[in-house]
Structure 1
Amino acid sequence: MISLAVLDMAGTTVADDGLVERAFTEAIGAVGVSERDDRFPDMLAHVRATMGQSKIVVFRALLAEDLAQQANSAFEQAYSRLVGQGLCEPVPGAEQAIRGLRARGVKVAFTTGFARPTQDAILDALGWRDLADLALTPGDAGRGRPYPDMVLTCLLRLGIEDVREVAVAGDTPSDVLSGRRAGASVVAGVLTGAGTAAELSGAGATHVLDSVADLPALLT
């Protein structure tokens, strides 16, 4: 029996529509790397390959520490501004799925690779502050994906007794790896974001779904 569903945000419950790449382009430009820079294509490729991971970790792989911190701050500001402009929509059926799970007694937690201010901006823009039982960022758990820390922190904070009672859903291989490493019995990859079916299956997804809207039926 599943007692907790841990759900990613951008690309899984929240439509991304290229916002991460737009914010990254602005952030990397703020530290001197324009789209015309020879380094830009490889940097963008790295961002795409590491979707779902903590953004400061992504920037640290590309830049020296001081520039990584500047770029991360610029990214959070850019993404929050785009969200504030109304460029943030839920994945169709996501809210209904979450409400349905909670009505059945399943606790729901949001996790993200964003920092707290950006996660809060998304929740406020969608009116989702009270939609889930818990919302965590990498900073709340110690490490972000693909480590299991956020999933396990959700389990501990919400009083779940067994990792086998946990289901995880996300749109990236990092989401899937995080769920598998945490010991969740259901680790579903969804096709509304960055990952392909082959990538999600290759990372170890127990199921690949068209959308998080299909999760309640799977858990039933």
Structure 2
Amino acid sequence: MARKFLFSIVITTLMLSTTTSKNTAPIDEDYVLCLKSIKHSLEDPHNYLKSWDVDNPNINYPGFICKFNGIMCWNPGENRVLGMNLSYFGLKGKFPSGISKCSGILMLNISHNHFYGPIPSNISTMLPFLVTLKMSSNRFSGEIPASLGNCSHLSVLELDHNRFSGRIPAAIGELQWVSKFSVANNLLVGPIPRFVNGRMFNATSYDNNLGLCGYPFKPCKS
């Protein structure tokens, strides 16, 4: 129930912030640039992104991009991207910076691929309305950016089975809507943050890291 309420808040905010939502409106050029950039920046050995025919002259036809693999739209007759589910596509590359052109998306699932490198430090600016972010089972590395704490709508954050190191930013605890969280199977150390909503996740959310402390593990040494 809480997640449905959160989705309604975010969707209402986005609708009020846009100038048009008519089914007959042409696709926003930013969406075209977004999808084109993602497609061209990643290795796609299984050709899942072949359906992303971003140069097709019919791309302005209502619902055209909704037929692309992994793309979810507001409704089948619109040209607005609601989310991307690219899980198990076998994609390889760094986090695609061009996704910032799809800044209105609510859901991004790129789990079970071959992404590597860091999460952009400005991810909250790139994708400010995210409700779900799934990046599990890749090869992401570096520190988890504190700016994720500014993605204030996040309900699901899954970063497990990567190579993240350093500490879990205390700012992550500011995610008041978070209901599902996992950083298991990384290289993390230091204290586990407390969430402002009082939610406490069990050990499976944090297992197999170098040295995390605090609930649900042993208290941190001063």
Q: TM-score, normalised by structure 1?
A: 0.30
Q: Which has the higher helix share?
A: 1
Q: Which has the higher strand share?
A: 2
Q: TM-score, normalised by structure 2?
A: 0.29
